[in-house]
Amino acid sequence: MSLAEPEILSVTETTRQIKNLVEANFPYAWVVGEISNCTMASSGHVYLTLKDDSAQLRAVIWKRTASRLKFQIEDGMEVVAAGPVEVYQARGTYQLNIEQLIPQGVGALELAFRQMQEKLAAEGLFNPEHKQPIPQFPRKIALVTSPTSAAVRDMLQVITRRWKSADLVIVPVAVQGEGAAEQIAAGIEMAARIPHVDTIITGRGGGSLEDLWAFNEEVVARAIFACPIPVISAVGHEIDISISDLVADRRALTPSEAAELSVPLQSDIQATLTHWQNQLVTNLKQRARQARLQLDAIAGRPAFARPLDMVHQRAAQVDELDRRLKRSTREIMTRFQTETRHLASALDALSPLKVLNRGYSITRKETEDEPSELEIVKSISQVKQGEVLHTFIADGTIVSQIQEIQEGS
């Protein structure tokens, strides 16, 4: 018995048959495993490995699919991945082309929410010090929401009922579906540029987590955080909370509550003004009564009962002070005159003229530089023969010329 000749295949044919066999049997496979070696390429594609305790499977998420994922892919994450298994003939390798990726144990949107919350919290976007106060009396309010929704009608009714003086402007945006997040972010930026807008409300009515998801997108959160105008966020119902709520300057449980938070109740303001007006009138009346009592008390004093008595009393005091002043002046003048006479006598006693009366004389000579000036002669060394001398005696002056000088007494 002869054996049949074996079929010899080329590498290309072998891999082609393997490719056909594998791809025919796994047109869309669901695989559970742990992510490892996760790499984001510059092209936007994500390359990773799915593994369990005894095997590994290479996988890829193309850019278009990766951009639609709501959560961040991380090593160690348990997931269910779905997509076709493809064989790459040129290398003889196969991989799972992931078209769906579902986290194990928690929903994809819930995981994405947690990851975004942790990321923005770490950057400080939720910190209280960044919150701006909501104006108490807004001039213009911008509503960034769907123009046809029940939420916008509720907000318009509440605001116009509570605070008629506020101007309202609607910035129409899509609040769900593809591109909604980008529209909301752009709407917030546009509202901030509208003149005189001092409050912005963004939000929508209730819905599923998927319906509300635009308000959990990072682009909306960063637009709210960067907005120079205070933002009130109102997304869904009381049980719903969004990333926008956490970033906003004020969170409202519903759109209607956001409208209430944005404006005061006009009747409350009127009541407050009336209260303060009445309080002011009461205070003024009370002060007027106190002033009248003080005036009556002052008017009842003796000085005001008989005002001329005080005038006479003050006049008598002035007269007494005048007498004291005159007496003091006379005493001072007398003391001054006495002291002056004493000083004059002492000065006269020291006068050279007194010496002349006792028979003495004073001799002066003319100076060479200034003949009109006379110099007192105290020694014969000061004079010489021929000089002119002036001798002062008690009753006159003797002018003489030196004929001879004799030393000694």
Tokens 């390359």 belong to 47
Across residues 260-276, what is the average pLDDT?
A: 85
Position 1 confidence tier, pLDDT thresholds 50, 70, 90: very low
Residue 43: the pLDDT is 93
- Write a three-state SS string for the chain: CCCCCCCCCCHHHHHHHHHHHHHHHCCCEEEEEEEEEEEECCCCCEEEEEECCCCEEEEEECHHHHCCCCCCCCCCCEEEEEECEEEECCCCEEEEECCEEEECCCCHHHHHHHHHHHHHHHCCCCCHHHCCCCCCCCCEEEEEECCCCHHHHHHHHHHHHHCCCCEEEEEECCCCCCCHHHHHHHHHHHHHHCCCCCEEEEEECCCCHHHHHHHHCHHHHHHHHHCCCCEEEEECCCCCCCHHHHHCCEECCCHHHHHHHHCCCHHHHHHHHHHHHHHHHHHHHHHHHHHHHHHHHHHCCHHHHCHHHHHHHHHHHHHHHHHHHHHHHHHHHHHHHHHHHHHHHHHHHCCHHHHHHCCCCEEEEECCCCCCCEEECCCHHHCCCCCEEEEEECCEEEEEECCCCCCCC
Taking the model in full, what pTM does it have? 0.54
Across residues 9-26, what is the average pLDDT?
A: 88
As a whole number of angstroms, the distance between CA 12 and CA 20 comes to 12
Task: Report yes or no: 364 and 376 within 8 Å, Cβ to Cβ.
Answer: yes
State the distance between the two ends of the chain, measured CA to CA, in whole angstroms: 192
Residue 174: the pLDDT is 96
Alpha carbon 314 to its chain's center: 62
Residue 3: the pLDDT is 62
Indicate the average pLDDT of the chain.
88
Position 388 confidence tier, pLDDT thresholds 50, 70, 90: confident
Q: Is the pLDDT of residue 273 over 80?
A: yes
Strand partners, 103: 79
Domains delineated in the chain: 11-105 (2.40.50.140), 126-264 (3.40.50.261), 356-401 (no CATH)
Alpha carbon 188 to its chain's center: 24
Tokens of 214: 């635009």
